[in-house]
Amino acid sequence: MKPYYEDESVTIYNADWREVSHWVFQSHESAVVVSDPPYNIGYHYESYNDNMREDQYLDLLASMYSKRMVMVNYPETTISLALWLREAPMKIVSWVYNSNTPRQHRSISWFGCKPDLSLSGQPYKNIEDKRIQQRISDGKEARLYDWWYEDQVKNVSDEKTDHPCQIPLSLMKRILTITPAATYIDPFMGSGTTLRAAKDLNRKAIGIEIEERYCEIAAKRMSQLAMAL
């Protein structure tokens, strides 16, 4: 299969994951699947139906599952997929954010692998405490807990693209940081955030995306200089 884009760190394929998953898994047996897949809530995509029957949608998500998988989705979807796979996540972290919508959090779920939360920290909250001020001065961060606050990518965000449901780069960098792997696979690459995060962390990643327009957006992001956390 000919790549849509390729450099020393990442490879992009313009394809339907359901048609190439077997080949991708065979070619990259040790890779970790990391994806923010479609949510099946009626988003308008040119080449993908985001309004499937529940069993069809769960079957689609199950097609990502290999020995190790990290998925960003809504909590009820995580529960449904666990029942569908008959395998509970090994770890769940809540991603929370301010929003004008009824939903203000999503789940990040690790199947078949556990994140190492000691590999990343977060800002201290009680910064008036002199002991905390000393820790900050020493370059330390607070322990990373199982809920993370990260702003969504909004229309005014510097990293915003034309993708309708773009995940924050800082969030994906944190996921990859605490889930070490030589190679990552994103079956629903979208705007390429997983690949951009991997490239910034000097790791390898493979992205599959059914819509060529999003492949073009992702390829453009890959050609940019390293992005800040």
Q: What is the pTM of this model?
A: 0.91
- Sequence-ordered list of residues with C-beta below 8 angstroms from that of 191, at least 6 positions apart, any chain: 161, 162, 163, 166, 214, 217, 218, 221
**Residue range 181-187: average pLDDT?**
96
Residue 169: is it exposed, middle or buried by C-beta count within 10 angstroms (0-12/13-18/19+)? buried
**DSSP letter, residue 153:** P
What is d(CA 135, CA 35) in angstroms, rounded to the nearest whole number? 34
The 8-class DSSP code of residue 118 comes to G
Output the six-digit token pair for 208. Answer: 């599959």
* Distance from chain centroid for Cα 117: 16
149-158 residue pLDDT tens: 998 887 777 7
pLDDT at res. 227: 52
Residue 224 DSSP symbol: S
pLDDT digits over 19-36, tens only? Answer: 999 999 999 989 999 999
Backbone angles phi, psi at 9, to 5 degrees: -110, -40
Q: What is the DSSP string of 158-219?
A: TT--S-TTPPPHHHHHHHHHTS--SEEEETT-TTTHHHHHHHHTT-EEEEEES-HHHHHHHH
* Higher-scoring residue by pLDDT: 179, 47: 179
Taking Cα atoms as reference points, which of 193, 195, 172 lies closest to residue 183? 195
Topology of the domain comprising 5-222: Rossmann fold (3.40.50)
The string of pLDDT tens digits covering residues 66-115 is 889 999 999 999 999 999 999 999 999 999 998 887 889 999 999 999 99
